[in-house]
Chains A and B, each alone.
Chain A
Amino acid sequence: MRRFLLARGAQAVTVIAIVATLAFVLVHLAPGDPFASNLDDPSNSAELHAAQIHHWGYDQPLAVQYVKWVGNLARLQFGWSHSRGRWVTDVLRETIPRSMLLMGTAIVFGVFAGVALGTWQAPRRGSMAEKISGSLAIVTLSMPEFLVAIAALAIPAARWHWFPVSGIVNPAMHDSMNAAARAGDILLHLALPAGTLALLIAASVSRYQRMAMLAVLPDEFIRTARAKGAAEHDIVWRHALRNSLGPLTTIIGLLLPTLFSGAVFVETIFSWPGIGRMMVEAVGTVDYPLVLAGVLAGSVFVALGSALADVLAAFADPRVRIDA
């Protein structure tokens, strides 16, 4: 087990190191520089532009910049965000927890709903209800994330006014609320964006879960349970369900990149001030340090998340460890 953990950890670190290097090379080989847009402003002289480039070290040899950058990464210093006028680390400190709240909620509800749906579908295979719910899942998976988010924004929020349309808190009222009301305020703002992502996760998970259940249901121990007189409901929801959950952690690990991509769109549409929206804004303002930090945060999230999923799968099922 220890060897497996070390190997999996080393793999995750290698991936992050390669991504960091690729992103660095890409950004620094790109034509132009992060201050080029400042030149459009006539009050900025060419001297100031040169001074900015010199100040932030963009005129040093690439190798020197790389070594400095890696050194700064080790201290979690990502540089200065020119568009926001703040340290990138401070921006990340605010945005990452918000995205984690969004994605974490979505995973919990999405996985729960997906497992329930898949488990419900499997014994009804071929029935009308199973076909309709299965088709709905496939249609959901064929929709781009932003379309689902727009639908959620347009109907329950904008038309029916059940939920706020944007942001993470009510900007006018939040500061005057007590702790419970503040939590409620955040939950109300969280419901639709997290619900959108949860729906996409649920659709995906339900398909895997249905297949996992179909693989378990013909097993002999199910026949034994049935022969000893267990109720059909217990057979499905107790015996079969437990034995079908093995691959679930691995599947969640595989869904993480999709989840993060979805969060980029959902955060943008609902103005959820997380890391996805930060990335889109950083691209719009050509804020290289912020873009680099965003990519790194995204790949660290995915690399650590899938490593964690693999480790959990190895704990649950010793056979997995042999592959390491």
Chain B
Amino acid sequence: MKVAIGVLLVLVFVALAAPAIAPHDPRVTPESALEKNLPPSASHLFGTDQYSRDVLSRVIFGARVSLGVAAASVLLALTLGAAVGAAAGLAGGWVDAICMRIVDAMLSVPRVLLLLVLVATTGTLSVGGIVLLLGLTGWMGMSRLVRGEVRLLREREFVMAARATGASEWNVFVAHILPALVPTLLVAGTLALASVIPLEAGLSFLGLGVQSPTASWGNIISDAGERPGDVWWVVLFPGLAIVCTVLAVNTIGERLRERADPRQRLVP
């Protein structure tokens, strides 16, 4: 757990301080034009790619984009999930039925396919667009969790008491139900972060996510080209960054889940 938090803090620091840390310009520069596909060395610790760009610097700048996109899209998904889940849970009846059927249907489509359809129809390839698409395809599981939680909370005494004092539905929700949802949202958000990072990397790898020259961990790997084995450093280092991040975030998420609800503790 401590290691996981440490890894994550280092990554966040690297992402924030990218321009100060990166040894080279992550873009093509005139001086570097002849340093194509160099293996790791003292001047290029992670080697260079087919456009003579320093892979270490690209991984460092990629942390910004990859972590930023992941965090922003999870926040969006949490907001949407909480909104739909709360609406369904509080309203009940046909609103609930329709929302949950749509959620069921969307959950049954592999998320990559949903993303592919959205990329095809919106044609978006900007960083903001990717955040939007990842958010739009990530809220369904959360809305289910929130709905379940809201339906339980709605019947609790403190909520009924608030209602009995004449608080409006909106006030009851904001002042009493929403705070009680925070642990659930925190756990769901952390675990969602761990699943969205490889997804963004995958999309960017396919050329349908963040576009080069903006570095993201996924599109750095796609710069390895047709024969990735010959330039293993272009694949290995961003790959390690992805795996370490996912492992760290997952560890933290699992631990948070145990804290939030000890009954969910998995068999040791």
CB neighbours of A252 from chain B (8 A)? none
Q: Are B121 and A142 in contact (CB under 8 A)?
A: no
CB neighbours of A30 from chain B (8 A)? 121-123
**Nearest Cβ on chain B to A127's Cβ, whole angstroms:** 14
**Nearest Cβ on chain A to B113's Cβ, whole angstroms:** 5
CB neighbours of A205 from chain B (8 A)? none
Asked if B3 lies at the interface with its beta carbon under 8 angstroms from chain A, I say no
Q: Are A19 and B267 in contact (CB under 8 A)?
A: no
**Which one of A144, A279, A306 has the highest number of Cβ atoms from chain B below 10 Å of its Cβ?**
A144
CB neighbours of B110 from chain A (8 A)? 257-258, 260-261, 264, 298, 302
Q: Are B198 and A143 in contact (CB under 8 A)?
A: yes
Asked if B174 lies at the interface with its beta carbon under 8 angstroms from chain A, I say no
Q: Which of A249-299 contact B (CB under 8 A)?
A: 257-258, 260-261, 264-265, 268, 279-280, 282-284, 286, 288, 291-292, 294-295, 298-299
CB neighbours of B175 from chain A (8 A)? none
**Nearest Cβ on chain A to B91's Cβ, whole angstroms:** 19
CB neighbours of A14 from chain B (8 A)? 101, 104-105
**Nearest Cβ on chain A to B267's Cβ, whole angstroms:** 5
Nearest chain A residue, comparing its CB with the CB of B245: A142
**CA separation between A146 and B224, bound complex, in Å?**
13
Q: Interface readout for A1-32 with B: 1 if CB under 8 Å, 0 if not?
A: 00000000001001110110011001101111
Q: Are B228 and A154 in contact (CB under 8 A)?
A: yes
Q: Classify chain B's interface size.
A: 35 or more
CB neighbours of A100 from chain B (8 A)? none
**If A143-B242, A150-B235, A158-B229 touch, does A286 touch B120 (CB 8 Å cutoff)?**
yes
Asked if A62 lies at the interface with its beta carbon under 8 angstroms from chain B, I say no
Is chain A's binding surface mostly helix, strand, loop or mixed?
helix
Q: Are B267 and A295 in contact (CB under 8 A)?
A: no
CB neighbours of B192 from chain A (8 A)? none
Q: Are A155 and B109 in contact (CB under 8 A)?
A: no
Is chain B's binding surface mostly helix, strand, loop or mixed?
helix
**CA separation between A211 and B250, bound complex, in Å?**
18
**CA separation between A292 and B110, bound complex, in Å?**
14
Q: Are A282 and B242 in contact (CB under 8 A)?
A: no
Q: Are B205 and A146 in contact (CB under 8 A)?
A: yes
**If A215-B267, A261-B110, A286-B123 touch, does A155 touch B116 (CB 8 Å cutoff)?**
no
**If A26-B121, A158-B227, A283-B208 touch, does A299 touch B201 (CB 8 Å cutoff)?**
no
Q: Are B246 and A27 in contact (CB under 8 A)?
A: no
**Nearest Cβ on chain A to B103's Cβ, whole angstroms:** 10
**CA separation between A22 and B106, bound complex, in Å?**
9
CB neighbours of B247 from chain A (8 A)? 138-139, 142
Asked if B65 lies at the interface with its beta carbon under 8 angstroms from chain A, I say no
CB neighbours of B218 from chain A (8 A)? 144, 146
Q: Are B113 and A295 in contact (CB under 8 A)?
A: yes
**CA separation between A15 and B116, bound complex, in Å?**
19
**CA separation between A286 and B116, bound complex, in Å?**
10
**Nearest Cβ on chain B to A301's Cβ, whole angstroms:** 9
CB neighbours of B239 from chain A (8 A)? 143, 147, 150
Asked if A153 lies at the interface with its beta carbon under 8 angstroms from chain B, I say yes
CB neighbours of A139 from chain B (8 A)? 243, 247
**Nearest Cβ on chain A to B124's Cβ, whole angstroms:** 11
CB neighbours of A279 from chain B (8 A)? 113, 116
CB neighbours of A150 from chain B (8 A)? 221, 224, 228, 235, 239
Asked if B90 lies at the interface with its beta carbon under 8 angstroms from chain A, I say no
Asked if B112 lies at the interface with its beta carbon under 8 angstroms from chain A, I say yes
Could you list which residues of chain A lie within 8 angstroms of chain B, going by C-beta atoms?
Answer: 11, 14-16, 18-19, 22-23, 26-27, 29-32, 138-139, 142-147, 150-151, 153-155, 158-159, 211, 214-215, 257-258, 260-261, 264-265, 268, 279-280, 282-284, 286, 288, 291-292, 294-295, 298-299, 302-303, 306
Instruction: Pull 21 A–B residue pairs with CB atoms less than 8 Å apart, ordered by A.
Output: A18-B101, A19-B109, A22-B106, A139-B243, A142-B250, A143-B242, A145-B198, A146-B202, A146-B206, A146-B221, A147-B221, A150-B224, A154-B229, A215-B267, A257-B107, A261-B112, A265-B206, A280-B116, A284-B208, A288-B120, A298-B109
